[in-house]
Amino acid sequence: MPDLNLIQFQIVTSPLDSKTFVQGNAGVGKTTIGVERMRYLLSQGIPADSILMLTPQRTLQEPYLDLLYQPERIAGGEVTSATIGGLAKRMCDLFWPLVAEQGGFRNPDLPPIFLTLETAQYYMAHLVRPLIEEQGYFQSLTINRNRLYSQIIDNLNKAAVVGFPHTEIGARLDAAWFGDAGQRRIYQDAQECANLFRQYCYDHNLLDFSLQVEIFNQYLWANEQVRNYLTNTYRHLIFDNVEEDGASTHDLIREWLPNLDSALLLYDTNAGYRSFLGGDAQTGYELSQFCNEVIELNESFVWQNENIREVSNSLVNAITGNEVAPEVNTEPAMQFILTRYHPEMIDAVVNETKSLIEDKGIPPAEIVILAPYLSDALRFSITNRLDAENIPWRTHRPSRSLKDETASKTLLTLSALAHPHWNIRPTKFDAAQALMFALNTDLIRAQLLTEIVYRQKDFRLSTFDEIKPDIQERITYSLGERYTLLRNWIEDYRSSFPSPLDFFLRKLFGEVISQTGFGFHDNLDAIRVASSLIESIKKFRNAMEPSIIGMDTPSFDLGREYFAMLEDGVIAAQYLESWRSEDKDAVLVAPAYSFLMMNRPASIQFWLEPGSSGWSQRPSQPLTHPYVLSRHWQDGKQWLDADEVQAETQTLARLVGGLLSRCKEKIYLAISDLGESGSEQRGSLLRAFQKVLQSQE
C-alpha cells in the first residue's frame, strides 16, 4: 500500500457499509484512494465479482486494471470494470428477450447486433448519403461527410446520456438558434436523419451506443428482474471521475445507492472536461446528497514548484476577469519560446526537449508537448524532429483515423493488391510506401522496385527475377528475397478462395510481414496499429454479416465495404490498446484534452501557440450543440454571443487550471509570430498571459 495520509487511510479502511463522496482537485490522491479501497475490499474477503468499478471512459481505468492484473492477486472472481455504455451493452445482451418487443424492435426473436462507432457511421452514411445526393439535404453546409454523420450520431448519444427523447433534438436546437433562418432547415434535416437511423435500428435489431443506453435506462433498469439481478450481483461500487459522466448515469446511481452495501464516489472539483460529450458535473455533484459522508481533500500529492500554483491562480483570474495578484513570480515556472515562423518554433521546442533530457536528466516520460488540436501536419513536424534527435515519443489523438497510420495504410494497400476483384488499384506512390514499410527498406529502393514490378493497369506484381541484374544489385538481393516471399504469398492467396479481411490480415501478418527482416518484426507501434485495425475489421464484420444491406447480391464484399468506409473518412473506434501498450518512457505529443483525460502529471509541459483561438473556442459543429443539448439549458432560451463568450471563458479557465494542476516544474509557451496557418494569433489565452506579465511591472 502506498503512503497515505490519515484522511486517505480512513476513507480506504472505512466500514464495509459506508457510502462516501470524496471531492478535491487533481493531484489530491482520489484515484489512489479508489485503487486502495478496491485492494482493501478484496483483502477483507469481499467477493471480487460483487464489486463494480465505473468510470466515464475506459482509459481512466488503467490504475485499477494495474491492480487487478497483478500476478499476486487473490484467485477467485473478477471485479467488473465498466463504463455505463459497457454495462448497458452487457445487460442488453443478457436480457434481450425481456425488452426486445417492449423496446419496439421489429424482430424480437432475433438477437441484437451491437454497433461500434465505425459501424454506426457506416449505416448512417448508407441512409443519409442518398438524401444528400438526391433530395438536397444539408445543401447550405460545406462540411466533410464523415463529420456530418458523426454529428448526427453525437446528437443521438447526447439525447441518451442527458435523458431526453431523440425526437426532440431538432426542436431544442431550433428553439435556441438566433441567426440565419437557413440554419433551422439544417436542424430539421438533422432530426429527420436521426429519426431515419433510429427506425432502421429498430427494423434490423441494431443497437448503437445511444440505443443501448436508452434501452438500459428506460426498460432494463425499470424491469424488476433486471434490477434485482444488478443489485444482488453488485454490492460494492467504486465510481471514479463522477463529474465526467452523463446525467442519466447519475440518475441511475442515485437510485442504486440505497441498495448497495458500500459506495465510494470520487469527484474532481475543477474538472468537467467531457461536457462536450454530454458529461454533467452538476448532476454528478448532486450525488453527494445521497452519501453518508462527504469529504473534501486539499493536500496535493503531486510535488509542484510553488510558482506554478501562483501562475495558475493568476492566469485563471486573468481569464475570468478577476483581479490578478501583483508581483507574481513567473520566472522559475514559466518560460517563453519566441520565433518568427512556425517551423522555427517546432525546432526550438525539440531542441529544448533534447536539452532537458540530456543536460538536466529529466526522463522523457515527464515531458509533454500539447496543442489545442493536433493536425497531421503538426504531428508529423514534431515527431519527425524528435526522431531526428533520437528522442523517444508517443502520441495519442482519439480522432485520428486508422487509415492515417502508416502501418494500416501498408496493410490496406497489400489487401487491395491481394483482392483484384475489389477493383481498387493502389497508386504507385501507395504501393511504394507499402513495400517500403512492409519490406523494411528505404524509400528510394522501394520506389525503384515499385516502378519495375508494379503494373497498375493490369494489376499484377512481376517477379524479382525479371529485373535486370544491375538493377537487382542496386535494389539488393536481400530486399529481393523479402519481396519474392511477399509476392509469392500474395499470388498463392489470389489463386485460393478469399478469406474475410481480418482473417486475411492475421494470416499475412503471422506468415510474412512479422518475420525477421520485415517491417512489422520488432516495430511495437506498428504491431499495435495492426492489432487495432484487425479488431476494427472484425467488429465491422460481426455487425454487418447478420444484416441485410446488399448481402444477397454477389457483388457485395465486406472487405471492399470496409475499405470504402475508411476512404470515406469514417474514423476508427477508440481502442484501449492504443493507450495501454505505448512506450511509457517517451515524450507525449497530444491534444491538451487527451492529456487531461490520461489523468497523470508531468514535470514539463510545452504549450504550442497559446495565441491560437483553438485553446478557447469549441470546434464548429453546425448540426449539434453541447450546451443547448444539456439538462441545464432553459427551454426556449436563445444561445447568444454573450453565452458563447461565457462558455469559452469557463472552458479555458477549466482547461488551464487542469493543465497547471498536472504540471510539477515548468511550462514553456511556444509562440511564433506567424502561426501554423501563416497568420498572426491573438487568442484569449495569450491575452491572459499578457495580463499576468503586466501585473509584474
Q: What does each C-alpha distance from 385 to 242, 539, 595, 672, 675 come to in angstroms?
A: 39, 36, 21, 17, 18
Write down the pLDDT at residue 195.
97
Write down the pLDDT at residue 70.
79
Please, which pLDDT band fits residue 516 given cuts at 50, 70 and 90? very high
Q: Which CATH number fits domain 6-91+223-297: 3.40.1410.10, 3.40.50.300, 2.40.50.140, 3.40.50.2020?
A: 3.40.50.300
Domain coordinates in residue numbering, the chain: 6-91+223-297, 111-208, 306-400+583-694, 402-568
The two domains 6-91+223-297 and 306-400+583-694 share their CATH topology (first three levels equal): yes
pLDDT at 181 over 90: no
Q: 322 vs 431, which has greater pLDDT?
A: 431
Note whether 287 and 254 are within 8 A (CB): yes
Write down the pLDDT at residue 546.
65
Please, which pLDDT band fits residue 277 given cuts at 50, 70 and 90? confident
Region 546-555 average pLDDT: 49
First to last CA, the chain: 48
- 31: Cβ–Cβ under 8 A, 6 or more apart, which residues? 63, 240, 266, 599
Region 515-529 average pLDDT: 87
Percentage of the chain exceeding pLDDT 70? 92
pLDDT tens digit string along 219-243? 999 999 999 999 999 999 999 999 9
Write down the pLDDT at residue 676.
66
The CA distance from 116 to 575, in Å, is: 11
Q: For the chain, what is the radius of gyration of the CA atoms?
A: 27
pLDDT at 204 over 60: yes
Region 512-531 average pLDDT: 88
DSSP 510: I
Percentage of the chain exceeding pLDDT 90? 58
pLDDT tens digit string along 12-23? 999 999 999 999
pLDDT at 522 over 90: no
- 525: Cβ–Cβ under 8 A, 6 or more apart, which residues? 407, 582, 583
In this structure, what is the dihedral angle of CA atoms 290, 293, 299, 303, given to the nearest 10 degrees? Answer: -60
pLDDT tens digit string along 47-70? 999 999 999 988 889 899 988 887
pLDDT at 637 over 70: yes
pLDDT at 128 over 70: yes
DSSP 246: B
Give me 563's grid cell.
Answer: 475499405
Please, which pLDDT band fits residue 575 given cuts at 50, 70 and 90? very low
* Torsion sign across C-alpha atoms 90, 94, 98, 99: positive
Please, which pLDDT band fits residue 574 given cuts at 50, 70 and 90? very low
Pairing of strands 206-207, 113-114: parallel
* Torsion sign across C-alpha atoms 459, 463, 469, 475: positive
Region 107-135 average pLDDT: 91
Note whether 301 and 323 are within 8 A (CB): no
Please, which pLDDT band fits residue 550 given cuts at 50, 70 and 90? very low
The CA distance from 153 to 659, in Å, is: 30
Region 531-544 average pLDDT: 85
Q: Report phi then psi at 192, rounded to 5.
A: -65, -40
Q: Report phi then psi at 266, rounded to 5.
A: -115, 125
Note whether 667 and 596 are within 8 A (CB): no
Phi-psi category of residue 692: left, alpha or beta, with phi > 0 → left and psi -120 to 50 → alpha? alpha
Note whether 150 and 121 are within 8 A (CB): yes
Average the pLDDT over each of 37-51, 200-214, 267-281, 313-327 and give the range with the smallest value: 313-327
Most confident of the ranges 171-185, 246-260, 401-415: 246-260
pLDDT tens digit string along 336-395? 999 988 899 999 999 999 999 999 999 999 999 999 988 878 888 999 999 999 999 988
Write down the pLDDT at residue 583.
54
Q: 201 vs 58, which has greater pLDDT?
A: 201
Write down the pLDDT at residue 386.
94
Region 173-192 average pLDDT: 92
Write down the pLDDT at residue 548.
46
Buried/exposed code over 561-588 (b: 16+ C-beta within 10 A; e: otherwise): bbbebbebbbbbbbbeebbeebeeebbb
pLDDT tens digit string along 455-502? 887 778 889 888 888 888 888 899 999 999 999 999 999 999 889 999
Phi-psi category of residue 321: left, alpha or beta, with phi > 0 → left and psi -120 to 50 → alpha? left
**Among 277, 274, 280, 229, CA closest to 256:** 229
**Among 190, 573, 525, CA closest to 399:** 573
Region 541-570 average pLDDT: 68
Write down the pLDDT at residue 140.
85
Please, which pLDDT band fits residue 576 given cuts at 50, 70 and 90? very low
Global pTM?
A: 0.85
Write down the pLDDT at residue 322.
78
Average the pLDDT over each of 19-28, 91-100, 291-300, 325-334 and give the range with the smallest value: 325-334
The CA distance from 383 to 589, in Å, is: 8
CATH class assigned to 306-400+583-694: alpha beta
Region 658-679 average pLDDT: 85
Write down the pLDDT at residue 225.
95
Q: 484515484: which residue's cell?
A: 31
Which stretches of 491-646 are assigned E, i.e. beta strand?
Answer: 587-591, 602-608
Half-sphere exposure at residue 657, Cβ-oriented, CA atoms within 13 angstroms: 21
Buried/exposed code over 379-400 (b: 16+ C-beta within 10 A; e: otherwise): bebbbebbeeeebebbbbbbeb
Half-sphere exposure at residue 84, Cβ-oriented, CA atoms within 13 angstroms: 29
pLDDT at 559 over 50: yes
Mean pLDDT of the chain: 88
Region 184-204 average pLDDT: 96
